[in-house]
């Protein structure tokens, strides 16, 4: 009898030890909307669109699927950023209680605000291709109306590239991207062979063949699980410092006026050059360009 009790005690202490030594795994999820299954036009993407309210639900479901997948692979802590449009798309009451959400703008680290070196992996959900890519539903980089190119150290980067570089500054790798097949291809060419969930196939800027919302969530859950399980093998995307940003505008005047600043150079009629000591300074500069106007209030 005492032997049984002793064995039970040993087994119990082993369980306690394993619970205590289970490593913390922090995962960051940056969520955009253009790459959500079914999204093809502005009708799904903003409060004026006739399908927007339903697509907020679909976006929330895809983020939930990524959370479930990450958890199944051992994620213990998750931070989600709502990184589309007004930054207030996700239905936050539907997310688990122990998840926190970054909302609205401006924020110095943009679409990956809150990332730091304690995270193990970043997942991009609902992403789209960059403005220089001829393929992909709603291809653009940060500002479809204003930016014609964003280059870091001479390399044209989509949002996934800029955000990967910010995460890379903290030594955190990107493990997954979800969206159309063009964005997965684009991210792999820049960042290496990360997990990709292809939820639609673009037929044009405003058209695609798409999975259903349910099928898309199933795929994202599975890919997020695989991505987080293997994130230790992935390398962060690090830029050489200082980091040179070349920002090309569709119009002339933003370049003209920004070049009044002593640390901004006009590279050509449409382009300014800014040098940051690291990519975090570049991100703050970009956020300034996107959000400053003299009439800002309050
Ligand atoms: Zn975007």
Check residue 2 and give its pLDDT.
59
Question: 59 C-alpha vs ligand 1 centroid, how far in Å?
Answer: 13
CA of 132 to the centre of ligand 1 (A): 14
Q: Is the model's pLDDT at 282 over the cut of 70?
A: yes
Q: 104 CA to middle of ligand 1, Å?
A: 14
Catalytic residue among 140, 206, 270, 291: 140
The whole-number average pLDDT for the span 167-180 is: 98
pLDDT grade for 255, boundaries at 50, 70 and 90: very high
- Please, what is the Cα angle at 24 between 22 and 25, to 5 degrees? 120
23 falls in which pLDDT band (50, 70, 90)?
confident
Active site residue 140: yes
DSSP sequence for 223-254: HHHHHHHTGGGPPP----SSEEEEEEESSSHH
Whether the predicted pLDDT of 14 surpasses 60: no
What would the mean pLDDT of 2-18 be, rounded to a whole number?
59
List all residues 6 or more positions away from 174 whose beta carbon is below 8 Å from its beta carbon: 121, 122, 123, 124, 160, 163, 164, 167, 187, 191, 194, 234, 237
Q: How confident is the model at residue 248 (pLDDT cuts 50, 70, 90)?
A: very high
Tell me what the mean pLDDT of segment 198-219 comes to: 98
Q: Which pLDDT belongs to residue 7?
A: 64
pLDDT score at 1: 58
Q: What is the pTM of this model?
A: 0.92
How confident is residue 31, by pLDDT bands cut at 50, 70 and 90? very high
CA pair distance 264, 276, nearest whole angstrom: 10
Cα(114) to centroid(ligand 1), Å: 18
Phi, psi of 149 (to 5 degrees): -170, 145
Q: What's the chain's average pLDDT?
A: 95
pLDDT of residue 13: 57
pLDDT band of 28, cuts 50, 70, 90:
very high
Q: How far apart are CA 69 and CA 75, in angstroms?
A: 9
Separation of CA 57 and ligand 1 centre (Å): 18
Mean pLDDT, range 161-181, rounded to an integer: 98
Mean pLDDT of 59-87: 98
Residue 216 pLDDT class (50, 70, 90 cuts):
very high
pLDDT number for residue 215 = 98
CA of 167 to the centre of ligand 1 (A): 16
Ligand 1 centroid–CA 33 distance in Å is 7
- Confidence band for 256, pLDDT divided at 50, 70 and 90: very high
Sheet of strand 26-31, all strands in order from the earlier edge strand to the far edge: 99-102, 77-82, 26-31, 121-127, 174-180, 195-204, 207-210
182 CA distance to ligand 1 centroid (A)? 14
Query: Ligand 1 mean position to 84 CA, how many Å?
Result: 6
Residue 157 pLDDT > 70: yes
Instruction: Give the pLDDT score at 9.
Output: 64
């Amino acid at each position: 009898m005492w032997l049984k009790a002793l064995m039970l005690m040993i087994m119990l202490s082993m369980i306690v030890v394993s619970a205590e030594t289970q490593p913390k795994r922090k995962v960051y999820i940056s969520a955009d909307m253009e790459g959500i299954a079914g999204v093809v036009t502005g009708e799904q993407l903003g409060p004026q669109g006739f399908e927007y309210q339903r697509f907020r639900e679909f976006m929330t479901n895809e983020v939930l699927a990524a959370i479930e997948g990450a958890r199944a692979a051992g994620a213990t802590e998750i931070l989600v950023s709502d990184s589309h449009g007004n930054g207030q798309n996700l239905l936050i009451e539907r997310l688990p209680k122990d998840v926190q959400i970054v909302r609205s703008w401006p924020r110095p680290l943009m679409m990956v605000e809150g990332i730091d070196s304690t995270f193990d992996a970043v997942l991009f959900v609902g992403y789209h291709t960059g403005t220089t890519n001829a393929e992909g539903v709603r291809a653009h980089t940060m500002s479809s109306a204003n930016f014609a190119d964003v280059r870091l150290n001479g390399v044209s980067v989509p949002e996934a590239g800029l955000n990967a570089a910010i995460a890379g500054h903290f030594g955190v790798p990107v493990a997954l991207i979800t969206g159309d097949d063009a964005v997965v291809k684009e991210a792999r060419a820049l960042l290496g062979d990360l997990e990709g969930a292809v939820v639609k196939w673009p037929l044009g800027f405003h058209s695609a063949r798409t999975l259903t919302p349910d099928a898309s969530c199933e795929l994202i859950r599975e890919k997020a699980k695989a991505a987080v399980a293997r994130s230790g093998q992935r390398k962060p995307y690090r830029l050489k410092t200082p980091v040179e940003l070349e920002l090309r505008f569709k119009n002339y005047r933003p370049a003209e006026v920004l070049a009044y600043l002593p640390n901004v150079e006009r590279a050509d009629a449409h382009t300014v050059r800014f040098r940051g000591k690291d990519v975090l300074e570049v991100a703050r500069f970009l956020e300034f360009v996107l959000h400053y106007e003299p009439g800002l209030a309050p």
